[in-house]
Amino acid sequence: MENFKQKAINHIKAIPFGKVASYGQIAVYAGSPRAARAVGMILNKLPADTEVPWWRVINNEGKLTIRGSIFNRDDQQSLLEKEGVKFKKEHEVEIEKYRWKTHELKL
């Protein structure tokens, strides 16, 4: 059986181009609804050359909150903008417009 970390990474990899998911969503999908911070820690430890689309994970209010890693909010915003995600103000997305919906889950 997959552990939480691998499940979370698999779900993050499944987020479609131009969509975002919250840390809490990923935790729920990975089977631990109260583990949103653990999702953040997993992302924080990814190597620079990762293929995991870390930039598609934001907080539930639509804010880019990544910190303490080799990645930063400006990089995250730039990557999301390249996917067509529009920002209502710096480092803040209208999350419900771009949120990856549960019924779209395809693993």
Domain boundaries, the chain: 4-99
Which whole number is the average pLDDT over 48-59? 95
- Quote the pTM value: 0.91
Query: Distance between CA 18 and CA 20 in Å, rounded?
Result: 7
Express each pLDDT in 55-101 by its tens digit: 999 999 999 988 767 888 999 999 999 999 999 999 999 999 999 98
> Based on the number of CB atoms within 10 Å of its own CB, is 34 exposed (0-12), middle (13-18) or buried (19 or more)?
exposed
CATH fold for domain 4-99: Arc Repressor Mutant, subunit A (1.10.10)
> Which tokens sit at 19?
């969509």
